[in-house]
Each structure stands twice: as structure tokens, then as C-alpha cells.
Amino acid sequence: MKMLMITAPSSGSGKTLITLGLIRALKKRKIDVCGYKTGPDYIDTSFLGKASGKRPGNLDIHLMGVDGIKSAIAMGDGEYGIIEGAMGYFDGIYNTFENSSFDISKKLDVNAVLIYTPGGEMFSVIPKIKGMVDFEGSKIKGVILNKVTKAMYILLKEQIEKYVGIKVLGFVEKDSELDIESRHLGLIQTEELENIEDIIEKASIHIEKSVDIDEIMKLMKVVEVPKFIYPRKRDITVAVAYDKAFSFYYIENLKLLENTCNVVYFSPLKDKELPSCDLLYLGGGYPEVFKDELSKNKSMLKSIKTFAEDGGYIYGECGGFMYLVRDIEGSEMCNIFKGSSTMTNRLQRFGYINIELLKDCMLGEKGDILNANEFHKSITNIDGEEIYRIKKPIGKRSWSCGYEYKNVLAGYPHIHFFSNMKAFNYLLDNVENNMER
């Protein structure tokens, strides 16, 4: 696959819209392109999927390992891949560039295009861009100026190319119609935006009009990755909750399940009951936003509760965990765990974590370490034993989470199976062995 990364000095620089516009512009040229996102994000990836018409992937060294990001590329569906970088190009774990977009582009040997949005500056743009381009190992090979007039673009282009020695590939003018609404955990989901197609289409028109797509194509480099071999097929049916309330999944996790098990998707919001299954996977999302609708679907709540009481296997992450408690701010949920979830006005947990299992459970044996990620503003108080000891990869902060009830396991962390394949197989082994009894 030929690949290119779109990056920026910081968040809020316009990477997402320019990436969406570029992907759609390439698609309109009949180029077989798919999207990827660095980092643990599961919201921006859905926008990349809308632009390309293909399921997007994540590239994250902490969650997946270097071999894992290569496997994600091997899973990709396209001859070309556009990677949207997370945060600033060099922003990694803690105060390092480890696992940053820079780190990933260097390890994959992928060229990057820098999106730069000037803010109350002129020539000061040049040394800032030069510092990022000249940093040892930097893969930045081109610049796109964002939210500038054509006149300003012409002025800056001359000086950037003269003093930095890098091509300025074009510009995008400021356009308020390209704004995408945000929510407390990031952008509004694509499923909730009626005008998302209009936004992507307009972004692509901007790109086609004032960005040199042919030069961008020349910067794309082949990334050689080994073919991904899926684990053995199992006669297990997995029900995956997927709708506006539950959509935070890593695509690679879903592809692993789809190629090793029988997967059925359902909506806790709209469907009347849980489909027949051996394992229920409740991913993250916005159950707090749709808590009243979820609460009104009494037959679904009852069927999941019954499934749990009958020994059915359930694995829940973050929003899925919240759905399994007694209530979210007074709105009745599945009542499998005796506790309540409430929202706060700030992030409670954010970023990469490592989980140590304090006892044997469906994800592994006591002492196993799982790489994971947490991102939530809610607090959930459960009357029960915690079985995850959680630590940050760098630093001394630690806390506990993770709860069991019969064959139900849930907590706030999101895991990616690529760096936790032992946990993936251990989970399916548990379900399979239970079916044989």
C-alpha cells in the first residue's frame, strides 16, 4: 500500500477536514484509497470511513505494537492509505515523542504533509515550520497552509520554500461551513450529523481547487507489510452493540471477531431484545447522551439482564460498562452491576494505561498485563471487588477498576487485541469451553 501522513503542529489545526477533503478528492479520481488515524481515537476514524467509503483503521504503537500497526495496514482495504495524525506531530506519551505521529511515520518510513494554520503571524511561520522539518528523523516533505487568503498564501509560500527548502502544496481558505460540532469526548459522531456528506464534499472541492494533488501523490511511498493471518475459525456467535449510543470500537477488533466468529450487530436503542449469541460485546460510546432512550427500551434491558443471569458471556468497555450498571444519572440501565454512573465537567481519566489482572478472568490469568486506553468524564461507583490494577505507562499514578458478575466482565478501559492477542484467544477459549459443557 502507498501511504502518506497528514499532520500538524497541534490539535485544532484543521487536519481532520483537510484529510477528509483529500481522501474524497482522491476517491473522485477513482483512486482506491482508505483512511487511518494515529492514536487511540475511535471518533475521527468514522469520518475517515465516510470520506473513503471504506472501513478505517487505527495505528497506535502502545495499543497495538509496531507489528500490530503493520497488521492494521495489512487488513486495510485499498491500494493507497491516507493517515491522519493525532495531536501535534511530535506529541507522544507523557512528555516524549514515543508513539507520536512522528514516531509512527519514522517507523513506517511514511512521508508527512504538514497542515499549518497561521495565527497572528507572518515570517514567524518560517522558523516554526523549519524546526519541525529539520528535527532529526522528521518525515515532513510538504506543507499545506490552512485558513489563509490566496494573497497570504502567495507571500508565505515564497518564503517557506526559500528558507525551509520544502514545497508548499497549496492552501485552504477559511470557510465556516466546514465546521464540525464537538461534544465532551470530541467530535459529534457521523451518525448524528445530517450534513456530514455536504461537509466532506465541500472540503474536497477546496482541495481540488487550491491543493496540488498530483504532487501529493508523488510523496506517497509503498509500505511493505506481511500478510495478516487470522486466528482459527470458531463456532461462536458474538453480538456487537452498534448504534448512536455504542460506536467506539477499534475496527481491527471487529475484523478479528468477524473473521474468527459469527458476528451479529444489533442496536440497544432500537432492537427489542438481544440476538441469540454466545458472547455479547458492549463497546464504548455515548450512553449518557442517549440514556433516556436506552432506559425506555425495557425489553432490551431485560433480555441482557436475563442473558447475564443465565451465565452468558458479556464483555463491556467504558460506555458499555456504564450500560451494565443500575442507572446513569437516574435513568435505568441493565442493573447487572449494583452502582450508578454520573457525569462530571472534566475528564476523569485520559490516555494510555497498562492493566494488571488481579485475578483470573475471561481476559487472562492473574498477573497478565494488558495495554489499554481510558477516556471518560463519568464516574461510576460499584459495590464490588475491583480486578484491574491500572497504571500509567510513565509515572507513578495508579488506580483500580474492572468488575465481574458471573460471566460478565466490564470496566472503563478500552483494549486493542493486536497487543493483547493472548487475551483475545483466552476470551474465546472461555466462551468455547463453556459451550461444550
Residue 434: per-residue pLDDT: 84
Query: For residues 355 and 55, what is the distance between their CA atoms, to the nearest angstrom?
Result: 28
Residue 184: per-residue pLDDT: 47
Spot the catalytic one: 34, 318, 361, 401. 318
Q: Write the CB contacts of 158 (distance below 8 Å, at least 6 apart in sequence).
A: none
Residue 155: per-residue pLDDT: 95
**DSSP per-residue string spanning 156-211:** HHHHHHHHT--EEEEEE---GGG---EETTEEPPGGG-TTHHHHHHHHHHHHHHHB
Q: Kindly give the parts of the chain with pLDDT less than 50.
A: 183-186
Could you give the count of Cα atoms lying within 13 Å of 275 in the half-sphere of its Cβ?
17
Query: For residues 69 and 276, what is the distance between their CA atoms, to the nearest angstrom?
Result: 33
Enter the C-alpha cell of residue 51.
470520506
Strand partners for 404: 409
Q: Other C-beta atoms within 10 Å of 212: how many?
A: 15
Our answer to whether residue 318 is catalytic in this structure is yes
Residues 143 and 114 sit within 8 Å (Cβ to Cβ): yes
Query: For residues 290 and 264, what is the distance between their CA atoms, to the nearest angstrom?
Result: 22
Query: For residues 251 and 34, what is the distance between their CA atoms, to the nearest angstrom?
Result: 13
Looking up cell 482459527 gives 232
Q: Could you read off the pLDDT of 237-267 as tens digits, one per residue? A: 999 999 999 999 999 999 999 999 999 999 9
Enter the C-alpha cell of residue 253.
477488533
Residue 188: per-residue pLDDT: 59
Residues written for the chain: 437
- At 246, the amino acid letter reads F
